[in-house]
Amino acid sequence: MSHAQPPAAGHDWWRSAVIYQVYIRSFADGDGDGIGDLTGLRERLPYLAGLGVDAIWLNPWYTSPMADGGYDVADYRDIDPAFGTLDDAQAMIEEAHDLGLRVVIDIVPNHTSDRHAWFRQAVAEGPGSPARARYHFRDGKGTDGELPPNNWRSVFGGGAWTRVTEPDGTPGQWYLHLFAPEQPDLNWDNKEVRAEFESILRFWFDRGVDGVRIDVAHALDKDPGLPDLGPSDIEGIGSAADADHPHWDREGVHEIFRGWRAVADSYPEQRAFVAEAWTGAPERLARYVRPDELHTAFNFDYLTAPWRGDRLREAIDTSLAALGSVGAPATWVLSNHDVARHVSRYGRPQPDGPVRSLSELATDVPFDLELGTRRARAAALLTLALPGGAYVYQGEELGLWEVEDLPDALLQDPTWERSGHTDRGRDGCRVPLPWSGVSAPFGYSPGGARAQPWLPQPAAWRELTEEAQRGADGSMLELYRAALRIRAEHPALGDGAMTWDSGTDSAVLSFTRAPGLRCVVNLSPDLVVLPEHSGVILASGPLESGLLPGDTAVWLAL
Ligand code: NOJ
């Protein structure tokens, strides 16, 4: 087998890496069926190298019925035909490496698809079979087993149990799914499950993959008694409400990840993990990145913080303290495929508490695109100046906003149906990228494509195409390109320490990165006098007579 070499060594590359998230379905469509694919990604790899990121992370690309955008995997060792073939994946890895980009893939260990061979076998072989022991099958409660085994809830809405029909045609056992019914949860107390995932890791590491993002890493271990949730557990759905939850953030996950770390460490070149773990407190998150466990974890406290100086500073301080206590670097994330794009989150009055979806913001105030964009520009400079690694979600470098008016009939996120049409879900941040031209599909699909993009692009995105922004003064794309270029070269940026500057109020974030760089972010409406500096390295917007306007950030040379 050809073994794609990663880019030139680089010690602990994951401590400083800027990783670009490719939501492959919406990135670039090479074959004209309206769905992004590996051909499209391969054509655009030079764009990503030119943007200045260090690595790409791809959302799941495996064979899947796509009940949840590919997070329902039917075969972990093959590529979905909509995206390409295993050979295409191998070629993509090699081409990325040749361009100096590392490749991170997404592993989904909490659940398989209900079309996975294991689950089909489990249904076919009936109660008590070894195949059922790989999942969580239980008899129901009630006189005829007609009630679910407990009161657990699906993250997407509704109950977390579905009843199967037994091979003899009778209503039978129930199986657990913390997400959609098409995503049965695996039983991580089962030895075969553990061995299988270590083998899957090796399969991809052997093909040259440099890292793995772990889907719902905090969900793998379940209380074997499957006790009912208490009222506060139900309220805390989607994240751990406390340290003793029956299915979130339980102690047992750590042993699993120590085993995974040993697999990664058995390779000569560094392979790194990033955990998707929604935990109750930064100290709980830090437990996933202890030296013998995972390398990094997404920082969702930062992602969900409102655009307020005090909240951002709190998220930064608590993250750095908790992660620093175990020697792990922080990662900074503004958007991903599960939350509303930050231009749209920030372009509205900001609450006190965390924000993931627009429903958590005032709906009676119209979205202010100019304000959201100005803040997103400042946020980019803040994010890329903080110590550690950073993620860029595809399209944020173009300043894309959340598409809030997708027609109901086109919504695909299972949340829409499972919530009884009360939660529109996450499709609005997954709309295909605009690359070029003045009308849809904006170069996302090739000329003469036989199908429309799988979600419609707003006509106004003609001003945000990569082509329109390339080389354009003041464009979001050129801001990202400049910031990433400077970040790659400046010795102060990336992994390391930061020091808050004294004497600023809570609406101004000002900190120093040694040697010689200061980042100042003005979250107040007022003009602010810049602290001592010898020059301006980069600003997110024009200064006014040497003063820093509101919602603007600047990198200063000291
Ligand atoms: C987290 C993923 O990011 C999300 O998109 C998915 O729906 C759930 N995990 C379930 O796999």
Strands 102-107 and 55-58: parallel
| 53 and 171 share one domain | no
Retrieve residue 166's tokens.
Answer: 């037994």
Residue 449 placed within a domain: yes
**Residue 145 and residue 23 in one domain:** no
From 61, 176, 337, 338, the mutation candidate for ligand 1 (largest count of ligand atoms within 8 A of CB) is 338
Alpha helix positions (H), 406-493 = 414-418, 466-469, 476-489
Nearest CA among 84, 14, 49 for reference residue 485 = 49
Map residue 219 onto helix, strand or coil.
helix
Q: What end-to-end distance do the CA atoms of the chain give, in Å? A: 51
Please give the pLDDT value at position 504.
Answer: 77
- The residue segments making up the domain with residue 530 are 497-557
CA distance 95 to 89: 10
Alpha carbon of 291 to ligand 1 centroid (Å): 26
pTM of the complete model? 0.96
Of 215, 426, 430, the one to substitute when testing ligand 1's pocket (max ligand atoms within 8 A of C-beta) is 215
The rounded average pLDDT for each run of 10 residues, N- to C-terminus, in the chain (558 residues) is 52 95 98 98 98 98 98 98 98 98 98 98 97 98 97 95 96 97 98 98 98 98 94 63 83 97 97 96 96 97 97 97 97 98 97 92 90 98 98 98 96 93 95 98 96 98 98 98 98 97 90 98 96 96 97 98
Question: Is 134 found in the same domain as 93?
Answer: no
Q: How far is ligand 1, taken at its centre, from the CA of residue 69, in Å?
A: 8
Distance in angstroms (rounded) separating the CA atoms of residues 496 and 389: 10
Residue ID of nearest Cα to ligand 1 atom 5? 338
Q: How many folded domains does the chain comprise? A: 3
Q: What 3-state class would DSSP assign to 56?
A: strand
What percent of the chain is helix, strand and coil (3-state, nearest 5)? 30, 15, 55
146 φ/ψ angles, rounded to the nearest 5 degrees: -85, -5
156 and 95 share one domain: no
| Co-location of 88 and 220 in the same domain | yes
The pLDDT score that the predictor gives to residue 117 is 98
* C-alpha–C-alpha distance, residues 471 and 27, integer Å: 21
* CA 383 remoteness from chain centre: 15
Q: Which of 215, 338, 427, 466 is catalytic?
A: 215
249 found inside a domain: yes
Residues 273 and 388 in one domain: yes
User: Which atom of ligand 1 lies nearest, measured to the CA of 72?
Assistant: 11
Which pLDDT value is given to residue 241?
55
Question: Is residue 183 assigned to a domain?
Answer: no
310 classed as catalytic:
no
Residues 222 and 298 grouped into a single domain: yes
What is the number of other CB atoms lying within 10 angstroms of the CB of residue 500? 12
**Domain identity same for 37 and 166:** no
Establish if 181 belongs to a structural domain: no
Count CA atoms within 13 Å of residue 446 on its CB side. 11
31 and 163 belong to one structural domain: no
Q: Is residue 90 part of a domain?
A: yes
* 4 assigned to some structural domain: no
